[in-house]
Amino acid sequence: MNDLDLDRIRAEFPALAGDTVFLDNAGGSQVLRRVADRVSEYLLTSSVQLGASYAASQAAGEKVSAARRAVAELVNAAHDDEVVMGGATTALMFMLVQALLPGIRPGDEIVVTESDHEANIGAWMRLRQAGAVVKIWQVDRDSLALELADLDALLSPRTAWVALTWASNILGTVNPVADVSRRVHAVGGRVCVDAVAYAPHRLVDVQASGADVVVFSFYKVFGPHYAVMWVQRDLLRGLPSLNHYFIGPEVMPYKLQPGNVNYELSYGCIGIRDYLVDTGSALGAAGTPRQRMQTAFDAFERHEDALAGRLLQWLGSRRTVRIIGRPGAGDGQRVPTISFIVDGRSSESVVRHVDRFGIGIRFGDFYAKRLIEALGLQAQGGVVRVSMAHYNTVAEIDRLIDHLDEVVA
């Protein structure tokens, strides 16, 4: 079992050379130099329209195609034409729902959770205009988990879709997506998974997930402000085109990419895949690129568990602190996104204090507004959230704890 070489890791992220401690990574990770270099390279050498017969256009087209293949490998898609890319997870979700709308019939049932980011709730709510019935899978108030027994009570032969998060951006809980997929498919429904809070911490495997759609944003996974939506091939093939009238439904994935992809950002995303493969290799892994990426993520998880455990232990020792989520780390059931409240203090006041010391954490609902309201946390201004990444250090967590100790009894 090899440990991460944090000096090598941190050298990959230019922003980490500064004085800021970045602990708002669930809001947006730092960007790899190799990603930025690829974006720059494309803009400075390949900024032409694709599809022309001249050599520069052909070369640019191959760069964009290579990006789609790299992303397909990153998520373990069976076919690279299942990979739809666009500006953000929210935008891609609205695109998906718009494509599904013509096929929705009155009485079709949609199950959404109250713990998701609104990107994977609000879009589905729009299907009510076609007569869909939306059901809410609530978080158990004791366990703060999405219990499978509660899902079973919501499923029926009319279930068309279940939408859930792979990991909560508030609770940090990793949800049993494969188990959910099996249950939903057994009643004839489909599953859409928001992997935004999961993908920076675990290697996404869309095939193992059993889901029909998986979506996440690259800017949470060390890349540019861009996103990917994997759609299972048979499902994608059957969706109508949202592109120009002469772009038919057989043109995948372009039919769900009106205006086409962003060329330079797509090309930049190859850098994410390369970084993960190289990190796995540096840890001694051999085998396929996916195997080396898995080795990297295994090391990320061990390191992040140690960081999260350190902070959770300290928070658990404070009499005025309530951790919102699982109180421990290391069992594979949570990512290092830690939320808490402090009795007698607004969440904003805690964060404003920490701001003074160059430490980036955050307060609020993080667009999981329905969960914050369901848990009665809106009066405190939501939660204080500390979200770590594999490039954070023990020293940074200790620095945060030292300054939290000044305002938390």
Own/partner long-range contacts of 127-131 (Cβ < 8 Å, ≥24 apart): 127/97, 127/100, 127/101, 129/101, 130/101, 130/104, 130/105, 130/106, 131/104, 131/105, 131/106, 131/107
Would you say the pTM of this structure is higher than 0.95? Answer: yes
Complete DSSP assignment for 192-213: EEE-TTTTTTS---HHHH--SE
Give the distance from CA 54 to its chain's centroid: 38
Reference 257, options 114, 1, 82, 130; nearest CA is 82
- Residue numbers of the chain with a pLDDT score lower than 70: 1-2
Q: What is the pLDDT of residue 1?
A: 55
> Is the CB of residue 396 less than 8 Å from the CB of residue 23?
yes
Residues 366, 378: Cα–Cα separation, whole Å: 12
Domain ranges of the chain: 6-33+274-404, 36-272
In the prediction, which pLDDT does 230 show? 98
What is the Rg, in whole angstroms, of the alpha carbon atoms belonging to the chain?
21
CATH number for 6-33+274-404 (one of 3.90.600.10, 3.40.50.300, 1.20.120.50, 3.90.1150.10): it is: 3.90.1150.10
Q: In DSSP terms, which residues pair with 227 in a beta bridge?
A: 86, 217
Q: For position 3, what pLDDT does the model report?
A: 87
Q: Which residues pair with 194 in a beta bridge?
A: 165, 215
Looking at the structure, give the CATH architecture of the domain made up of residues 36-272.
3-Layer(aba) Sandwich (3.40)
Q: Could you give the angle at the alpha carbon of 262 between the alpha carbons of 259 and 266, nearest 5°?
A: 140
* Interatomic CA distance for residues 371 and 113, integer angstroms: 9
